[in-house]
C-alpha cells in the first residue's frame, strides 16, 4: 500500500473533497502491483479521476473566491501535465516511467498537497459556509470582526 492512514492524516472535514481523495488513494494503491494490462487501464482511470478531481476543486475555488486559486491551479496543472506525459509513454508501450512515478512521486505529492493546498481550501470553504450561515440568520459576522481585531 503506497498511501495509508487516510482518515487520520488527510481528512479535511469536507465531504466532497474527502470522498474524492479516498477514491484517488484507492486508485493509486490498486495500480501499485498490477500487471502490464491492468496497470494501463488503472493509470487511465487515475488520469480521468484526477482530471475530475482537479476540475471539482477548481469550481470550489472559483465559486468561493479562494485567494490562492492561481497557485493551487498551477500545481494541479503541473501534476496533470506529468500524468498526461506518463500516459503518453504507456500508450507508446513503455510503462516503466509511469510505474516509477506512481510508486515514488505520486504518494509524496498527494500527502503534501492534501495537508497544505487542499487543507487551506477546505478551511476557506468552512469559513465561507459559517459566514453564509450567520448572514442568512442576520447574525453579526464575528469571524470577520475577530480577524480585524474589531470588538
Ligand atoms: Fe484534492
Ligand atoms: Fe488540490
pTM value is 0.87
Say how many residues make up the chain: 151
149 CA from centroid of ligand 1 (Å): 32
Residue given cell 465561507 in the structure block: 128
More confident residue, 7 or 22: 22
Nearest in space to 23 (alpha carbons), one of 98, 110, 97, 105: 110
Q: What is the tens place of the pLDDT at every residue in 13-53?
A: 999 999 999 999 999 999 988 898 899 999 999 999 999 99
Output the domain CATH number for residue 54: 1.20.120.50
* Residue 84 is assigned to a structural domain of this protein: yes
Q: Residue 112: pLDDT above 90?
A: yes
**Structural domain contains residue 34:** yes
Tell how far the Cα of 119 is from the centroid of ligand 1, in angstroms.
9
CA of 36 to the centre of ligand 1 (A): 27
The number of the ligand nearest the C-alpha atom of 116 reads: 2
Confidence of residue 80 (pLDDT cuts 50, 70, 90): very high
Residue 53 domain boundaries: 15-142
Ligand 2 centroid from CA 17, angstroms:
9
pLDDT value at residue 142: 65
Amino acid at each position: 500500500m503506497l498511501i495509508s492512514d487516510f482518515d487520520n492524516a488527510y481528512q479535511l472535514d469536507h465531504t466532497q473533497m474527502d470522498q474524492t481523495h479516498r477514491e484517488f488513494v484507492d486508485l493509486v494503491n490498486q495500480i501499485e502491483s498490477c500487471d502490464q494490462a491492468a496497470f494501463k487501464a488503472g493509470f487511465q482511470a487515475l488520469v480521468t479521476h484526477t482530471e475530475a478531481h482537479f476540475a471539482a476543486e477548481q469550481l470550489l475555488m472559483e465559486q468561493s473566491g479562494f485567494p490562492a486559486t492561481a497557485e493551487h491551479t498551477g500545481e494541479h496543472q503541473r501534476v496533470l501535465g506529468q500524468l498526461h506525459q506518463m500516459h503518453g509513454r504507456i500508450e507508446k508501450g513503455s510503462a516503466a516511467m509511469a510505474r516509477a512515478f506512481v510508486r515514488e512521486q505520486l504518494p509524496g505529492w498527494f500527502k503534501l498537497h492534501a495537508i497544505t493546498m487542499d487543507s487551506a481550501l477546505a478551511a476557506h470553504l468552512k469559513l465561507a459556509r459559517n459566514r453564509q450561515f450567520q448572514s442568512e440568520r442576520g447574525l453579526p459576522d464575528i469571524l470577520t470582526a475577530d480577524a480585524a481585531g474589531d470588538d
